[in-house]
């Protein structure tokens, strides 16, 4: 089957793109997708889980990855860190009237300078000063980066609400948004039912917003993201399998981390960079079900959920969500999907 970009298009009224979080994290709606569609709330999630199940969260933390400054010529620029490379270098988007050249310097926040080492596809390779790490600089001088479809600047409320309550390890430039629905009360109810939890880390890069530019999806090259799957999470998944439970990923980032660590056919603890592109036809190794938000038309994440639940199932679910006026994207509502039988 040859898939094209148009196979993953749908019409979304702009009014359904959530521009701000709800007053409470756990106030979101939840579309349960199975043999039928069921309109529920995220607070109903404990009822959908069994005591033998395992929820896997992404514990990454969003950094203040947006920096403003100027080129040596005086031109204004905006830098969005895509991912740090070690302590002192980063891959970044640079918005400027004219692209900076390798060997030039950029002055950011009127406080420090970075050197442009060269290009990496659509991105730039930057070197930060050696007296502090890239993340130290972003946290001191940067701004929280909201997604491009949110048409307002980040405010004080976003400092808390665009982070999950279990965020631990800084490195993402976009939130693992399915995790934004969980508050301490909901997590306590889930654990009171006997459901276990585990964590992975996948640092979401700005490349997640890059459009797919090829019609033939077999030609698409995914952006790289760093991930860590701890030994204790691998052990928790093995124990879940032994007791007949399901591995439920909270968010596509958790799913990609787990599946990336299982490309040999066996889930292995460790860290690395993933370019895994999951589209219909992919054979899942680890994940049985998924809590996820609604994704952009023609996006790789829409292709991922179509691979998990089936293309026709996802088309029907999205049509229902639009008709029922669910809230879409990062600050929007959620879905609960089960993997279709292979």
Q: How far apart are CA 335 and CA 292, in angstroms?
A: 5
Q: How far apart are CA 237 and CA 255, in angstroms?
A: 13
- pLDDT at position 332, please? 98
Q: How far apart are CA 265 and CA 323, in angstroms?
A: 40
* DSSP string over 166-233: T--EEEESS--GGGGG--HHHHHHHHHTT-EEEEEEEE--GGGGSPP--SBGGG--PPPEEEEE-HHH
- pLDDT at position 341, please? 85
Q: Are strands 334-338 and 29-33 parallel, antiparallel or unpaired?
A: parallel
In order along its 342 residues, the chain shows pLDDT tens digits of 689 999 999 999 999 999 999 999 999 999 999 889 999 999 999 999 999 999 999 999 999 999 999 998 899 999 999 989 999 999 999 999 999 999 999 999 999 999 999 999 889 999 999 999 999 999 999 999 999 999 999 999 999 999 999 999 999 999 999 999 999 999 999 999 999 999 999 999 877 777 888 988 988 888 889 999 999 999 999 999 999 999 999 999 999 999 999 999 999 999 999 999 999 999 999 999 999 999 999 999 999 999 999 999 999 999 999 999 999 999 999 999 999 987
- pLDDT at position 218, please? 86
- pLDDT at position 235, please? 98
Start-to-end CA span in the chain (Å): 16
- pLDDT at position 146, please? 95
CATH class, domain 5-62+156-338, is alpha beta
- pLDDT at position 180, please? 98
- CATH number for 66-141 (one of 2.40.10, 2.60.420, 1.10.150, 2.60.40): it is 2.40.10
Per-residue burial over 266-282, b if 16 or more Cβ lie within 10 Å, else e, is ebeeeeeebebbbbbee
- pLDDT at position 1, please? 66
Measured CA angle at 110 (ends 160, 99), to 5 deg: 95
Would you say 335 and 294 are in contact if contact means Cβ atoms under 8 Å apart? yes
- pLDDT at position 208, please? 77
Domain locations in the chain as residue ranges: 5-62+156-338, 66-141
- pLDDT at position 118, please? 97
Contact residues for 53 (Cβ-Cβ < 8 A; gap 6+) = 195, 196, 240, 245, 246, 247, 248
Would you say 332 and 326 are in contact if contact means Cβ atoms under 8 Å apart? yes
Same fold for the pair 5-62+156-338 and 66-141: no
76 bridge partner residues: 70
- pLDDT at position 206, please? 78
Would you say 158 and 146 are in contact if contact means Cβ atoms under 8 Å apart? yes
Nearest residue to 182 via CA among 30, 16, 31, 20: 30
């Amino acid at each position: 089957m040859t898939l094209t970009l148009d196979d993953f298009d749908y019409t979304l009224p702009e009014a359904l793109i959530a521009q701000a979080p709800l007053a409470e994290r756990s106030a979101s709606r939840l579309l349960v997708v199975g043999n039928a569609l069921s309109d529920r709330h995220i607070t109903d999630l404990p009822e959908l889980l069994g005591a033998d199940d395992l929820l896997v969260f992404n514990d990454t933390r969003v950094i203040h990855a947006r920096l403003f400054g100027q080129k040596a010529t005086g031109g204004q620029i905006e830098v969005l860190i895509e991912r740090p490379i070690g302590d002192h270098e980063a891959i970044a988007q640079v918005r400027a009237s004219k692209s900076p050249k390798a060997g030039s310097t950029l002055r950011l926040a009127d406080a420090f300078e970075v050197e442009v080492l060269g290009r990496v596809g659509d991105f730039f390779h930057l070197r930060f000063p050696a007296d502090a790490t890239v993340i130290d600089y972003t946290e001191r001088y940067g701004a929280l980066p909201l997604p491009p479809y949110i048409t307002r600047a980040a405010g004080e409320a976003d400092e808390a609400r665009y982070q999950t309550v279990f965020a631990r390890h800084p490195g993402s430039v976009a939130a693992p948004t399915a995790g934004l629905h969980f508050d301490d009360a909901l997590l306590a109810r889930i654990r009171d039912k006997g459901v276990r939890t585990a964590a992975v880390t996948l640092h979401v890069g700005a490349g997640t917003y890059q459009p797919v530019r090829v019609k033939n999806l077999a030609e698409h090259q995914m952006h790289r993201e760093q991930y860590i799957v701890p030994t204790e999470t691998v052990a928790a998944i093995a124990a879940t399998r032994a007791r007949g439970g399901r591995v439920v990923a909270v968010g596509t980032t958790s799913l990609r981390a787990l599946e990336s660590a299982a490309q040999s056919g066996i889930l292995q603890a460790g860290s690395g960079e993933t370019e895994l592109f999951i589209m219909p036809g992919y054979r899942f190794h680890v994940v049985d079900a998924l809590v996820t938000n609604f994704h952009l038309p023609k996006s790789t994440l829409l292709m991922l959920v179509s691979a998990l639940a089936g293309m026709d199932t996802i088309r029907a679910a999205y049509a229902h969500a639009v008709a029922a006026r669910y809230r879409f994207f990062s600050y929007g509502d959620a879905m609960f999907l089960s993997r279709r039988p292979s």
